Amino acid sequence: MPNNNHKNKLPHYDDFLLSIGANNYSKETLYNYERDLDTFALFLTYEMSNLSFEDINKQTIEQYKAYLNSNDRRTAAGKMAKQDLSSGSINRTLTSLRRFLAYLIDMDYSAPIPPGSIKLLRMERKHPQVSELEELKKLIESPMEFEKDKIVALRNRAALETLFASGMRISELVNLKIVQLDKSGRIFIQGKGRKQRFIYLTERAKRHIENYLKERSDDFPFLFIPNRGRNVSDKNKHISTNYLQMKIKKYRELLGINIPTSAHSLRHGFATYLAEQGANPAAIQILLGHESLDTTTRYVHASDKFAESTHKKFHPLK
């Protein structure tokens, strides 16, 4: 098992991470940078025979890309990887290295190669899959059928309804606090990258949240809290993203839904079906909290039905 000595491969490693934290980036962003740089340091140590950081070149980066694309690689924790990395994950890792090199240059330290010499992978274009609306509806309603404990059923029902009603991320959902709710159904949240925005609940979602809260007799601040386990008495705990993802997977399997479905699928479905109804992409961008409209427009094109109806409506030769 590798020790932390591999981190010494990267000059000013700790100063860089301190800079990320000092510039008000989230803990998750800081963790991602640390993990990605550790992966590169391990690569230099174990795959490049203790190659010095000062001696890396463009060829080293190409070898690193091949390494990330292979199954014979180590995780940041030093263990052998068990899963393939997607192009997006590889590009995130390369972008972290770019940012580190840019930091060295900004601080007038020596950098062996310019950040721009690290070229990202071409992203594979996948046709997004979204379950039919009726399938998503059954999934959202399924806790009332499959959960024997009433409060768990009400909680999970409200959580899934809220995800689909608002298009929020699962990390944003589990961090919701009761004080953020009001009768209007408009909730002010701080999302990914500390960006702030409003999300909106449907009347259905508001009703199911109310049904769940009526069964609560505690004064805990979080909206969705554990019902059992070691955190059940800790008022500062909320349900985990892993728990909710596991439940969604279980419900999908019990319902026989073939298309892989996750919490992100509900967010994806929210955007897709809004687009299918003719919603403005710029409005969907605001609702999802996307920085770029390019990220949002893929949802507009994700629905085959939307594409078909557009073709029939607007093609000049009927």
- What's residue 296's pLDDT? 60
Token pair 């060295």: residue? 104
Question: Stretch 154-164: mean pLDDT, rounded?
Answer: 95
E strand or H helix at 307, and its extent?
Answer: helix 304-314
Structure tokens at 291: 């920085």
**240 within 8 A of 171, measured Cβ to Cβ:** no
Please tell me the pTM assigned to this model: 0.57
Q: What is the CA radius of gyration of the chain?
A: 23
Q: b/e map of 188-207 (b: 16 or more CB within 10 Å)?
A: ebebeeeeebebebeeebbe
- What's residue 305's pLDDT? 53
Question: Stretch 26-52: mean pLDDT, rounded?
Answer: 88
* Distance (Å, whole) CA 248 – CA 237: 20
Question: Stretch 14-43: mean pLDDT, rounded?
Answer: 88
Question: Stretch 50-75: mean pLDDT, rounded?
Answer: 88
Query: What CATH number has the domain spanning 133-314?
Result: 1.10.443.10
* Distance (Å, whole) CA 175 – CA 112: 42
- What's residue 316's pLDDT? 47
Q: Of 59-68, 101-110, 303-312, where does mean pLDDT reach its minimum?
A: 303-312
- If one compares 5 and 255, the residue with the highest pLDDT of the two is 255
Residue 70 has a CB neighbour count (10 Å cut-off) of: 12
Query: What CATH number has the domain spanning 4-117?
Result: 1.10.150
Domain ranges of the chain: 4-117, 133-314
Question: Stretch 173-194: mean pLDDT, rounded?
Answer: 86
Residue 1 has pLDDT above 50, yes or no: no
- What's residue 2's pLDDT? 41
Residue 193 has pLDDT above 80, yes or no: no
Specify the amino acid at residue 167.
Answer: G
Residue 298 has pLDDT above 70, yes or no: no
Question: Stretch 291-297: mean pLDDT, rounded?
Answer: 60
Q: What percent of the chain has pLDDT over 90?
A: 44
- What's residue 258's pLDDT? 80
Q: What digits encode the pLDDT tens for the residues 215-231?
A: 999 999 999 999 887 87
Q: What percent of the chain has pLDDT over 70?
A: 81
Q: What digits encode the pLDDT tens for the residues 94-151?
A: 999 999 999 999 999 999 999 999 998 876 555 455 667 788 899 999 999 999 999 9
**178-184 contacts at long range (C-beta below 8 A, 24 or more positions apart):** 178/213, 178/221, 178/222, 178/223, 179/221, 180/223, 181/209, 181/223
